[in-house]
Structure 1
């Protein structure tokens, strides 16, 4: 059972899965903006053109406030998801070990200042013996 939980944890915290989940949530929040735009701006314009309804200035103000509310909801959702993802990435990076820098493979000749192999006992450029 413990191995199953570890495998699930590895799967769920993988970058692609998290990106997809964030995308789905942002898409859901953005659909609220599109729905509000359609319900509060496009549909009333169609209703007026077709002669089905007449709107007052109060109605237009209400439509505008509903749309602004949907935009604010989207921004808040996106901000919360950003903060959660940032915190989760920070938590995941705590357990990782940083890789040690690679050992050097070259050195500088003290006489001619040319770059030579670290194993060299004689400089191939100036033929000086190296200690």
Structure 2
């Protein structure tokens, strides 16, 4: 079983985008790679499926692959049942010709995470609990 758990929107102006979505009624909490300090991303708190606004610099930190995520480039994240299953999915998609832009790795936020491109080039993140 998989579930869409997060939509990442890489944005050119973090505060402008936060203000736009706030008008729609979205509330956010700040995220920073050091845990505190100025917002590098805004995480929705009331949308059901989490929406995260990422600055390009923040997106480049968690996704060091090339080409780098750019403003206007969304990414849909799926959560899968295990790290082993995540690795199996990435391997199967790779044999089907999908581009793996970030091989699965343990991330500092406590999940295993990888990124593949769908057939049209959309970024698809895959998450599971860390091993």
TM-score band, normalised by the shorter chain?
under 0.3
TM-score, scaled to structure 2 = 0.16
Tell which has more relative contact order, 1 or 2 (C-alpha 8 A, sep 6+): 2
TM-score, scaled to structure 1: 0.16
Name the structure where strand makes up a greater proportion of residues.
2
Larger radius of gyration: 1
